[in-house]
């Protein structure tokens, strides 16, 4: 075998190895994407379950949360911050869910369910007051979505 033939054989073997490496990397990326999606969905579920469990276990927080959403004027001034913290926890969870949805790492079918919850939430006076009390940058995609839903709420009434 000549040096040229050996060189050609070496190039062929290198090409095969490159193709095998690319196939391996594609499989790994696909697995990592699936793992990221599962992790995002799992973390999201844990946060929401913990929030719901907290409300279910504490009658005072339950009343504060739902009374504050329905009629924010019904809660005393010292309780407003506590209400904002509760609602802020839920809103932060929705924001994270939306982010995972936009990244494509949230399990399929999860975001539409939460979008319906968000559409319900923006109709409530307590949410509107909460949203106005906190300065939220409009360039953040979730904040932009909430602002659009609030405008939609006003124009549909």
Give the contacts of 144 (CB within 8 A, at least 6 positions apart). 138
DSSP class of 140: S
Catalogue the long-range contacts made by 145-154 (C-beta closer than 8 Å, 24 or more residues apart).
Answer: 145/98, 145/118, 146/118, 146/122, 149/118, 149/119, 149/122, 150/122, 153/119, 153/122, 153/123
Stretches where the chain sits below pLDDT 50 are none
**Measured in whole angstroms, how far is the alpha carbon of residue 42 from the centre of its chain?**
12
pTM of the prediction? Answer: 0.71
Give the pLDDT of residue 44.
Answer: 67
Tokens of 11: 């190039």
Give the pLDDT of residue 157.
Answer: 58
């Amino acid at each position: 075998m000549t040096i040229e033939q050996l060189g050609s054989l070496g190039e062929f073997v290198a090409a095969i190895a490159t193709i095998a490496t690319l196939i391996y990397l594609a499989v790994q990326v696909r697995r990592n994407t699936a793992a990221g999606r599962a992790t995002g969905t799992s973390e999201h579920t844990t946060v929401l379950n913990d929030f719901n469990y907290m409300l279910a276990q504490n009658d005072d927080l339950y009343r504060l949360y739902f009374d504050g959403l329905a009629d924010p004027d019904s809660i005393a001034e010292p309780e407003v911050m506590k209400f904002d913290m509760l609602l802020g926890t839920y809103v932060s969870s929705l924001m994270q869910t939306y982010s995972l949805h936009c990244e494509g790492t949230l399990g399929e079918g999860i975001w539409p369910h939460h979008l319906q919850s968000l559409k319900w939430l923006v109709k409530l006076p307590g949410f509107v007051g909460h949203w106005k009390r906190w300065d939220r940058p409009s360039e953040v995609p979730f904040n932009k979505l909430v602002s659009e839903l609030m405008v939609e709420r006003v124009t549909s009434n």
